Amino acid sequence: MPRYATETVTLLSNAGATGAGKSFSGGSAVFVMLPGTGGATTALQVLGPDGATWVGITNASGTTALALPLELAPGTYRAEVVSGLATPVNAAFTTDTTGGTLAAGTYSYRVAAKNAIGRTLASAATTIATTGATSTVTVNWGAVSGATGYDVFGRIGGSEQLIASVGATTTYTDTGSITPSGALPTSNSAQSTIYAEIRGVL
Query: pLDDT tens digits for 49-88?
Result: 898 888 887 777 777 766 656 666 777 777 776 667 889 9
Q: Note whether residue 167 is domain-resident.
A: yes
Is residue 2 predicted with pLDDT exceeding 70? no
The answer on 151 and 118 residing in a single domain is yes
The answer on 195 and 167 residing in a single domain is no
The answer on 48 and 117 residing in a single domain is no
- Report how many domains make up the chain: 2
Q: Note whether residue 57 is domain-resident.
A: yes
171 phi/psi in degrees, rounded to 5: -155, 150
The answer on 57 and 100 residing in a single domain is no
Q: Note whether residue 181 is domain-resident.
A: no
pLDDT at 199: 58
Residue 102, strand partner residues: 135
The answer on 48 and 19 residing in a single domain is yes
The answer on 106 and 57 residing in a single domain is no
* pTM assigned to the model: 0.66
The answer on 163 and 101 residing in a single domain is yes
Long-range (24+ apart) CB contacts under 8 A made by 106-109 are 106/130, 106/157, 107/137, 107/154, 107/155, 107/156, 107/157, 107/174, 108/154, 108/155, 108/156, 108/157, 108/158, 108/160, 109/137, 109/139, 109/152, 109/153, 109/154, 109/155, 109/160, 109/163, 109/174
The answer on 168 and 110 residing in a single domain is yes
pLDDT-based confidence at residue 196 (cuts at 50, 70, 90): low
Beta strands in 85-181 (DSSP E): 94-96, 105-114, 126-130, 136-140, 149-155, 161-166, 171-174
Q: Note whether residue 89 is domain-resident.
A: no
Q: Note whether residue 58 is domain-resident.
A: yes
Q: Note whether residue 61 is domain-resident.
A: yes
The answer on 72 and 104 residing in a single domain is no
Q: Note whether residue 17 is domain-resident.
A: yes
pLDDT one-digit tens code per residue, 171-180:
999 999 999 9
The answer on 101 and 55 residing in a single domain is no
Residue 107, strand partner residues: 128
Structural domain boundaries, residue 164: 94-174
pLDDT at 166: 98
Q: Note whether residue 182 is domain-resident.
A: no
The answer on 127 and 62 residing in a single domain is no
Rounded CA-CA distance 191/176 in Å is 32
